[in-house]
Structures are given as structure tokens and as C-alpha cells.
Amino acid sequence: MLGCVDPVLTLVCAKSYRDPFILSFGRGQDDAAPPARATFAQGTASDHLVMLRAFNGWAEARERRAERAFCDSYGLSDATMRMIDGMRRQLYGQLLSIGVGGAL
């Protein structure tokens, strides 16, 4: 599938739910800190790439069982990231059932 199933699933599910970036970092955070989105922008103006980088970072942190700390550090909602991941897995299963897709 041209190697794009994974990122496309992430974007479709993220756009179908809600923005995982939290407006307020919460107590103890510096209000002058740069927006969390800027951390993932790294030379791009693409909201899609920002979302992909944030999700991939979260997924890597989840493998280390550090997803909550990752979300706290970058102003992301862990519950929203989990929902996006669940939606991705569900949609991917549906793609597999009709013969489309490969390993995520």
C-alpha cells in the first residue's frame, strides 16, 4: 500500500475525533513555554505532520510504559491518544477483513 496505511489511519482517526493537544498544561507549568505543537512542527507548517509526530512519539512512549509522562510533557491528552489508537486498530482490522493492508 505504498507504505502509507499507518500514517493515513492515524490522520483519519485523529481528524474524526478531537484534537489531542490540551490548551492548558495545568498546574506548575510555565505559561510562557512554547506551544506543544511547535515541538513537533520541526520545520514544517503541516498540522498533519505535527499530528503524526505527536502520535508516533506517544506510541514510542507507550512501548516504554511512559505515555502519561509523554503526554504531560507535551500537553497532550492521553485519553484522546488512546481513543485515536483504538480507532486506528478497529479501522485497520476492517481493512484487513476486506483484503486491504499489511502490518502496521
Question: So what's the pLDDT on residue 45?
Answer: 84
Q: Give the span between the Cα atoms of 42 and 82, in whole angstroms.
A: 24
pLDDT given for residue 63 in this prediction: 97
Share the mean pLDDT of the chain: 85
Task: Measure Cα distances from 86 to 10, 53, 56, 90, 92 in Å.
Answer: 10, 18, 14, 6, 10
- Would residue 102 count as lying in a domain? no
pLDDT in tens, 48-95: 999 999 999 999 999 999 999 999 999 999 999 999 999 999 999 998
92 lies in some domain: yes
pLDDT digits (tens, 9 = 90+) for 16-47: 999 898 865 555 554 534 577 888 988 888 89
Domain extent at residue 42: 5-23+36-97
- Judge whether 64 lies within some domain: yes
Residue 76, phi then psi, degrees to nearest 5: -110, 150
* Predicted structure pTM score: 0.81
Does residue 60 sit within a domain?
yes
Please report whether residue 31 resides in a domain: no
Query: What is the CA angle 101-49-7, rounded to 5?
Result: 5
